[in-house]
Structure 1
Amino acid sequence: MPTLSEVARHAGVTPATVSNVLRNRGRVGATTRQRVLEAVEALGYRPHLAARALAEGRAPTLALMVSSIANPFYPEFALAVERAARTSGHFVIICNTNEDPHTGRAYLDQIAGTLSEGVLVTNANLDLADLHTTESRGTPVVLCMWERPNEPPGLPCVAVDFRRAGELAGAHLLELGHRRIGAIVGSKASGIHAARYEGFVDALRAGGAPKGRVKHAADTIQGGYEAARALLESDPKLTAIFVTNDLPALGAMHAAADLGLNVPTDLSVIGITDIQLARESRPALTTVAVPTVEVAGLAVSLLRELIESSYGQAGRPTTSVPMRIASPPELVVRASTGVPRSR
């Protein structure tokens, strides 16, 4: 396998110049850059990533921590992150915590700062204290999809106004004429979906509608199925169900079908996020879309800025904690919501 020095000799430049061209750094003239790239192609040179990491004390990879790779949202988000990271020559390591904080801490201890230059975190059930510890050791951390823009977490983050998403969902159901509305929250009462439910309740309050029954469930299709059955069996006159995420919303539609209810004629269902399955379900799920691709791009960009700056370097104080605010959520009306029919 050819070495960087051999590429340099072939191109008639120094090894440092070859490194600058391959990492898109430094000032290299167009003619020299082209000569280096031709040498790389002619010799079939490929950088040795592990050796580079040891030599430079940094790895050309970013770690993305997710709570469950089985949840379709996370592969979609990971794909967007990978595309954004690739523009800067970074690779992405997916760290699936399986909703286990001990696994998450193990990833932070073993990967952060060694196999990865920085860490992106998306609802991975990690304690903020653990992330602060990682940051204090010199590895930048960025929280993705932070759900409360008005309550900064004390760590760099990209925030989405999920409370507003809940408001949009509630307002949509009220505009259709629904008043008996149940809710399924895909987390504990104080969990990550709390802001979404709070926004939904705000909409009901503003519309003069009563707050209906609420069930807290696992953020899965099965969790949504079980919660919807419980809601509908306890209150058969419900005409709509608001769900804080698309996956359990799909489960709610399955439960309605098993109970002999037509969606949306007998029961309207609305979710939040707009995953691919929401578009492909039958009926297609009405939801409040969040800017997933935009968030991924902002998160990668912010993490790269932190890596290149002194932010988070061990022993170096910071003056402020950056937050990027993504575009507002948007209502996407599909076939799972309609005007209520009295039952």
Structure 2
Amino acid sequence: MPTLNEVARHAGVTPATVSNVLRNRGRVGASTRQRVLDAVDALGYRPHLAARALAEGRAPTLALMVSSIANPFYPEFALAVERAARTSGHFVIICNTNEDPLNGRAYLDQIAGTLSEGVLVTNANLDFADLHTTESRGTPVVLCMWERPNEPPGLPCVAVDFRLAGELAGAHLLELGHRRIGAIVGSKASGIHAARYEGFVDALRAAGVRKGPIKHAADTIHGGYTAARALLEANPKLTAIYATNDLPALGAMHAAADLGLNVPSDLSVIGITDIQLARDSRPALTTIAVPTVEVAELAVSLLRELIETAPRCEGGRANGPPMRTASSPRLVVRASTAAPRKARPE
């Protein structure tokens, strides 16, 4: 592999000039710049990113921490992050914690501030103390998809009003005429989906409707399948199921099919997020769409701001960590919800 010194010799310039041309820095004449670029093309030179990071004390990459790359939401979000990062010349490293905080800590220790210039964090089950430690070492951190805009997390973040998302889901089912509604929450009672369920309950309470049976489950299709089957077997008169994410909602539709129920004639199902699978399922899933691309763009923009201002913010921020709030979630009506039948067999 050709070196920077070889490019310099080929172009008849100093290595510093080659470096300035490749980084678009300093004053380099047009003819000299073209000679350097021609030499780069002729030799097939490619910068060594790790060496540059060590030499300059900064890396042209951003780290994106995700809890499970097997969850189809995260590849979709990662694609949006990658597109946004490329506009500033950054690459993205995907760090899959596999829902293990120890894996997340290892990534933060080994990548943050060395291979990556900043860290974007989704719902990766990371200890906030580890994130604060990363910040204190000079590597900016931004939380993506923070679910409670009214409760700042103490770290820079991009927030989405997921309580409103749950409220919109509940209101849709109520408007269709459903009153016997089960719920599947894709986390523990105090977990990351709690606000989504609280919003759903708010909608029921406002309409004077008692909340129905609830199951907490893994945020997966299988978790939704198991939870929905248990709900429907124990409560055969349910006419609708609300799931706090699209994957459990898809699992609920699978469970309904295995129990001989038609969606939406016998059972309406609604989720939250609007992943591609929600659009491709049959029937297509009614869901509450969240602004995934907008969140990715806001998160990358905020992280870039923090990277640029980090040396000037060592004394702390007067107004606390910055928060950007994305557009409100919106209802997307598809084929998995309809008005309930007047009567349903036991």
Verify same fold: TM over 0.5: yes
For normalisation by structure 2, the TM-score amounts to: 0.93
Change in 2 beyond 3 A, CA 1:199/1:312: farther
Task: Look up the equivalent residue of 1:50 and give its one-letter code.
Answer: A
Deviation at 1:21, TM superposition (A): 4.1
Contact 1:95 1:107 survives alignment (8 Å):
yes
Task: Look up the equivalent residue of 1:102 and give its one-letter code.
Answer: L
Change in 2 beyond 3 A, CA 1:294/1:14: farther
Identity rate of aligned residues, in percent? Answer: 88
Contact 2:244 2:272 survives alignment (8 Å):
yes
Task: Look up the equivalent residue of 1:281 and give its one-letter code.
Answer: S
Deviation at 1:165, TM superposition (A): 0.7
Instruction: Determine the C-alpha separation between the residues in 2 that align with 1:304 and 1:139.
Output: 11
Residue 65 of structure 1 aligns with which residue?
65
Change in 2 beyond 3 A, CA 1:177/1:141: same
Residue 243 of structure 2 aligns with which residue?
243
1:257-336 superposed matches below 5 A: 257-310=257-310, 316-319=315-318, 320-336=320-336
Instruction: Determine the C-alpha separation between the residues in 2 that align with 1:156 and 1:9.
Output: 46
Instruction: Determine the C-alpha separation between the residues in 2 that align with 1:10 and 1:218.
Output: 59
Change in 2 beyond 3 A, CA 1:63/1:285: same
Deviation at 1:26, TM superposition (A): 5.8
Change in 2 beyond 3 A, CA 1:135/1:286: same
Instruction: Determine the C-alpha separation between the residues in 1 that align with 2:194 and 2:311.
Output: 31
Contact 2:120 2:144 survives alignment (8 Å):
yes
Instruction: Determine the C-alpha separation between the residues in 1 that align with 2:68 and 2:31.
Output: 48
Contact 1:63 1:120 survives alignment (8 Å):
yes
Residue 163 of structure 2 corresponds to residue 163 of structure 1: yes
Per mean C-alpha deviation after superposition, the further-off stretch among 10-19 and 324-333 is 10-19
Contact 2:140 2:310 survives alignment (8 Å):
no
Residue 134 of structure 2 aligns with which residue?
134
Deviation at 1:318, TM superposition (A): 3.0
Change in 2 beyond 3 A, CA 1:208/1:135: same
Task: Look up the equivalent residue of 2:185 and give its one-letter code.
Answer: V
Q: Residue by residue, what CA displacement relative to the aligned partner does 1:160-202 show, whole Å, maximum 9, x if unpaired?
A: 1111111111111111111111110000011000111111111
Q: Secondary structure at the match of 1:143?
A: strand
Q: Secondary structure at the match of 2:119?
A: strand
Any gaps of 5 or more consecutive residues in structure 1?
none
Deviation at 1:22, TM superposition (A): 2.9
Instruction: Determine the C-alpha separation between the residues in 2 that align with 1:247 and 1:286.
Output: 12
Any gaps of 5 or more consecutive residues in structure 2?
none
Residue 205 of structure 2 aligns with which residue?
205
Change in 2 beyond 3 A, CA 1:230/1:27: farther
Count of aligned residue pairs for this structure pair: 342
Deviation at 1:60, TM superposition (A): 1.6
For normalisation by structure 1, the TM-score amounts to: 0.93
Change in 2 beyond 3 A, CA 1:133/1:283: same
Instruction: Determine the C-alpha separation between the residues in 2 that align with 1:171 and 1:291.
Output: 20
**What is the aligned-residue RMSD (CA, Å)?**
2.0
Contact 2:138 2:310 survives alignment (8 Å):
no
Per mean C-alpha deviation after superposition, the further-off stretch among 77-86 and 117-126 is 77-86
Contact 1:140 1:311 survives alignment (8 Å):
no
Change in 2 beyond 3 A, CA 1:5/1:305: farther
Change in 2 beyond 3 A, CA 1:197/1:24: farther
Contact 1:148 1:163 survives alignment (8 Å):
yes
Contact 1:256 1:267 survives alignment (8 Å):
yes
